[in-house]
Copies of this chain bind each other. A is one copy, B any other.
C-alpha cells in the first residue's frame, strides 16, 4: 500500500453496515487522512468513536463531499441515487452498497476475489453487490476458472440483519414473545414498505424484497443478474429461492452447481483450500461444516458439505456461509477501498 492518505466519507454511518465499515477501517488501519461520518438528519449529531477520537455525524447533503477521496455509501438506494453523483462531482470515488447502480453499465460490480480488474474501469461509482450474491460468487470463482459453470440453483437461509437493525430487534422481540406465551405482532418483515407482515421468529419466510412480474423476488433476481455481471458471462443459468430465517448474523446458502466439465471432488477441495478469502470447512467424520454462528464476525466465506450429485457427474452441492454484514457488505466495500488506495 502506498504512503498516501485519503479523505474518507461514510454515508449511513449509524446504520448496521456503516457501523461495520467504520470498525473495519479502524481494524485494517486504513490510510485515513480525514474521516467524515454522514447520515440522515434524524441521526445527525450522534457521536461515534474512531481510534479513540470522537467524530460527530453530520447530515449528508450535496456539498458534504468536498475534498473527499473515497465515499462509502450504505444508507439505502434513494440516498445513493440522490447523493452519489454529487460525491463524484466533487472528485470522490463512490463505493456503493445499495442496489442503486449495480446494473448500470458504467458502474463496475465488484467482488475482488472474482473481478478485481474491473475496479480501475470505474467512472466514479463502483457498486458493491448484494450480500447473498457476494458470498456465492466468491466461493464459485475457483470452480468457474477451472471447470466453467453452466448453471447454478441456489436456496438461501438469510439472516435478519440483512434487513437492518430494526429487523434484528423485531426478531429478538418476537422470539421473546413466543417463549413467554405472548401474541406476536409482526411489524417490519418480510418487507418494511409492503402491507403484509409475517412472524419471523421460529419461522422461514420465502420473501426477501418485493415480488417482480415474473414471480421472483427482487432479492432472487439480484442473484440472477449480479452473478452474470460479476462473472461477465451471460451464459451462466442462475435460479434462486431466497428465504429469511431466524438467524441474526450470517447468510447460509445451499448451492447446486453444474460444471461444464467433469471433475474430481479432491480437485474441488484443493481449489477451495487455496482460494483467497475462502475457508474450507468440510469434514463429515468430525461433523465439520460451516455454520452461521461460526461465520459471524469473520471476513471470510466458509464452504463445506461438498458432495457430488449422485445422478449428474457434473453436478456438485455446496454449503456456503458468510457474515452478510462483513463480506456481504462492509468488508467487500473496504476491500475495494483498500485496492483503490494501493493503486494510487
Residues of B within 8 A of A153 (CB): 153, 256
- The segment from A37-45, A132-140, A283-291 found at the interface with B is A283-291
Look across to chain B and name the residue whose beta carbon is closest to the beta carbon of A157: B204
Contact present for B256 and A196 (CB under 8 Å): no
Contacts A206-B252, A306-B215, A307-B215 given: A241-B317 contact, CB under 8 Å?
Answer: yes
Residues of B within 8 A of A224 (CB): 310
Residues of B within 8 A of A306 (CB): 215
Please, what's the 1-or-0 string for A70-92, where 1 marks a CB less than 8 Å from any CB in chain B?
A: 00000000000000000000000
Please, what's the 1-or-0 string for A178-218, where 1 marks a CB less than 8 Å from any CB in chain B?
A: 01000000000011001110110011111100010011100
Distance to closest chain B CB from A285 (angstroms): 7
Contact present for B310 and A214 (CB under 8 Å): yes
Please, what's the 1-or-0 string for A151-167, where 1 marks a CB less than 8 Å from any CB in chain B?
A: 10101010000000000
Identify which of residues 311-330 in chain A touch chain B, using a CB-to-CB cut-off of 8 Å. Answer: 311-312, 315, 317, 319
Residues of B within 8 A of A206 (CB): 252, 254, 289-290, 304-305, 319
| A149 in the interface (beta carbon within 8 A) | no
Residues of B within 8 A of A289 (CB): 206-207
Contacts A204-B157, A204-B245, A237-B311 given: A287-B194 contact, CB under 8 Å?
Answer: yes
Distance to closest chain B CB from A70 (angstroms): 34
**Of B196, B285, B317, which contacts A211 at CB under 8 A?**
B285
Contacts A196-B286, A292-B204 given: A254-B155 contact, CB under 8 Å?
Answer: yes
**Of B199, B237, B241, B248, which contacts A293 at CB under 8 A?**
B199
| A111 in the interface (beta carbon within 8 A) | no
Bound CA–CA A107/B151 (angstroms): 38
Bound CA–CA A245/B246 (angstroms): 8
Contact present for A319 and B239 (CB under 8 Å): no
Bound CA–CA A202/B203 (angstroms): 11
Distance to closest chain B CB from A326 (angstroms): 17
Contact present for A239 and B315 (CB under 8 Å): yes
Distance to closest chain B CB from A336 (angstroms): 28
Identify which of residues 111-136 in chain A touch chain B, using a CB-to-CB cut-off of 8 Å. Answer: none
